[in-house]
Structure 1
Amino acid sequence: MGSGEPAARRGRPRSEAVRGAVLSAAADLALEGGSAAATVDAIAKRAEVSRTTIYKWWPSAAAIVLEGLLDSVRDSITRPPGSTSVEAVTHHVSALNSILADPAVGPLLRNVIAASPSDPAIERALLDQWITPRRAAVAVTLREAVQSGELPADVAVEVAVDALVSPPYYRLMFGMAPLDEDAVIRLVQTVWQGCRAT
């Protein structure tokens, strides 16, 4: 997914129909042919819009794919109402695992991650809009468990977050089979018990 000209991003708001066509075209191309196939030229051709239209609103093809990903999973970090701390952590890890295991989403995210080192804007967006909010959701739950006395005060929250969210990414990036539901539950229980033992 190559970078391109800087986006102007001014004037009238984007047409939702155009936006939808562009996001859909980018997702289809990336799934069909990987990151090399999802170029701005190819996206423009498939969405039947001009390169100028694309560059007006997005800085690169990877930015388009990332926006589509964020749209599709934006509500997945919301804590279920009335859930216990363990249930909330399990929800967050299970939701992340399901997203990464989805054959229509996981490969797209893997392509965006691969493109991010050569595209600072995508690297920053990936961190700010994808990684950080998901880590924060788990961290907040763990800190609330500390405040309620469910976990000891000296729990290394960031380390626990790493232990909880890393396995789904590890499996995605190395092409391994995703965790199943039972494995997610065992992962959360193992980390939770480790936190309680500190």
Structure 2
Amino acid sequence: MTVPEDIHWQATAVTPSQRSDQKRQTPFILWFTGLSGAGKTTLANALDRALFERGHHAMLLDGDNVRHGLCRDLGFSEQARAENIRRVAETARLFSDAGLIAITAFISPFRRERALARQRAGDTPFIEVFVDTPLALCEKRDPKGLYRKARAGNLACFTGIDSPYEPPLQPELHLRTPAQSVADTTGQILAYLQQRGLIANG
């Protein structure tokens, strides 16, 4: 969708760099992707807490939560899912312009939409985090009973059952959660962020 030619970008009096300087942090976008039940929300919340305790300003966008407001008008068709991710990518970019660290936890099953989210981030560091949990384990966990509904034919277009998940080809972080605790995995993410110079050590 293109922007109508009579709509122009309005420059703001405070720049994104001034906002991040005020918060004394580097804004970036952490994009958690993986199957339902993979552990995205659990890890995103643990990381959000860890960053908060280190004095960082972050905001977590969770897949279910945005469906209560920002994306409540969308269904679960492939087209609707693409629009869902587009809106989230735009929101994450706005958060980063405000000097915040944006954390997203979405299945975001299609590479095309994740690539567009990365593109929309512009110069803001974009870190794709693949929470790689086998389908069998996700289905065994089934915290919301969604796999059970999908298997029974009561939930259409469910990722991993009758709709595909396209795993990232070159994610910045590839987390194999069954082999690690939440604390260990969170530590792995923090170590990566420190190595990139996005957060301070300690």
Q: TM-score range by the shorter chain?
A: under 0.3
Question: How high is the TM-score relative to the length of structure 1?
Answer: 0.27
Q: Higher Cα Rg: structure 1 or 2? A: 1
- Which one has the bigger helix percentage? 1
Structure showing greater relative contact order (alpha-carbon pairs closer than 8 Å, 6 or more residues apart) = 2
Larger proportion of strand: 2
